[in-house]
Amino acid sequence: MTSRVPDLIRHLGGLAHRRELLGRGLTRRQVETSWADGEIVRVRHGLYASRGLPDDIIRAARVGGTVSGASSLALRGGWQAPSPRLVVSVAHNARDLRDPDDAGARLDAGRSDVLVLRDRTRFCPRTERLLASPSRAAAQVLLHESPEFAAAMIDSAMRLPHRQRPILNEVLEHLAGHRTARGMIASLDPRAEAGSESIARVRLAQEGIRAEPQVWVDADTRVDLLIDGWLVIECVSVDFHSSPAAYKADRARILHIMALGYVVIEATYSQILFDWTAVSTAVTVALGRHAGARLSA
């Protein structure tokens, strides 16, 4: 009965080397027959997986490692950057790295859509068999992503269910000896409700402008970012304005905020990510009419 093979692989976490299966009493023939019958997936030579595992787990395993960093947080439900790359942790001395989509080809070291980290030796073999823990992944993000993307990824991850959420004290432990990355933790804020909000907040801070996220301006209304108590930045997305009713409701909301005495700048996801100069210019011109929004040096 080959059903023992998929059962054992599931018991091992969904991914198993042939030597592990043979060491638990299975035969080579049982493993090969189970694969031929479509019960399991052969990821690369000598490595098998349960059917139905997420693609990135399979692709990282095919490279020769574990889903990590931004890829790990995204799999758990965190914010994902446009054109994301696959982040894979491998052993420090790993050599036979394969293409994530073709086990028969070696990994092209020049691929921009795959980031290989040689830090898997530190992983817990029991809890990090398939992907890096939330706290380790957050630490990797702070080390290997831009400050604004790192903030967007970790802000959103800190809003996930408890077991999928990074713990900042653990993140700091993983960052021992990395002073710059540890300092970036101060820029995180889980109140942000969208990646574009986090990115705008961090980019404004880089320009010396402090923006507070998700501020209540009356009993029923919150704004995305508030600067100096009067300038509102609303980070808008087509996803939330895809119907005439939603668009109409948002226009009424903006008029209500303005009627409370606030100046409102609306910036789209695309503008924040890909045309920041236009957003920054609008904010700077608005602030030029008032004082006091600049952070102290």
**Tell me, what's the pLDDT at 240?**
57
What average pLDDT does this structure show over 9-31?
94
Last residue of a domain, one of 133, 157, 187: 187
- Higher per-residue confidence, 24 vs 240: 24
Tell me how many domains the chain contains. Answer: 3
Residue 242 included in any domain: yes
Q: Is residue 192 part of a domain?
A: no
Same domain, residue pair 32 and 134? no
Residues 177 and 156 in one domain: yes
Q: How confident is the model at residue 297 (pLDDT cuts 50, 70, 90)?
A: very low
The whole-number pLDDT of residue 239 equals 63
Mean pLDDT lowest among 101-105, 133-137, 248-252, 263-267: 248-252
Within-domain flag for 292: no
- In the predicted model, what is the mean pLDDT of residues 54-74? 97
pTM over 0.75, yes/no: yes
pLDDT of residue 2: 57
Residue 295's pLDDT band, with cuts at 50, 70 and 90, is: very low
Measure CA of the first residue to CA of the last residue in the chain; give whole Å.
70
Distance between CA atoms of 113 and 97, rounded to whole angstroms? 15
> d(Cα 59, Cα 142) in Å, to the nearest integer?
23
Mean pLDDT of all residues in 16-22: 95
Least reliable range by pLDDT among 23-27, 207-211, 245-249: 245-249
Residue 246: predicted pLDDT: 82
**Dist. CA 276–CA 267, nearest whole Å:** 9
88 and 181, same structural domain?
A: yes
Same domain, yes or no, for 88 and 74? Answer: yes
Residue 295 domain-assigned? Answer: no
The mean pLDDT value for 262-274 works out to 96
Does 208 lie in the same domain as 172?
A: no
Do both 35 and 66 map to the same domain?
no
pLDDT(107) > 70: yes
Domain end, chosen from 187, 210, 241, is at 187
| Average confidence (pLDDT) over 135-164 | 97
Is residue 193 situated within a structural domain?
no
> Are residue 182 and residue 249 in the same domain, yes or no?
no
Examine the domain organization and report whether 63 and 89 are in the same domain. yes
Give residue 249's pLDDT.
87
Q: Which domain holds residue 16?
A: 4-51
Tell me: pLDDT of 109 over 50: yes
In a domain, 271, yes or no: yes
Where residue 271 falls among pLDDT bands split at 50, 70, 90?
Answer: very high
CA-wise closest residue to 54 among 66, 37, 64, 36: 66
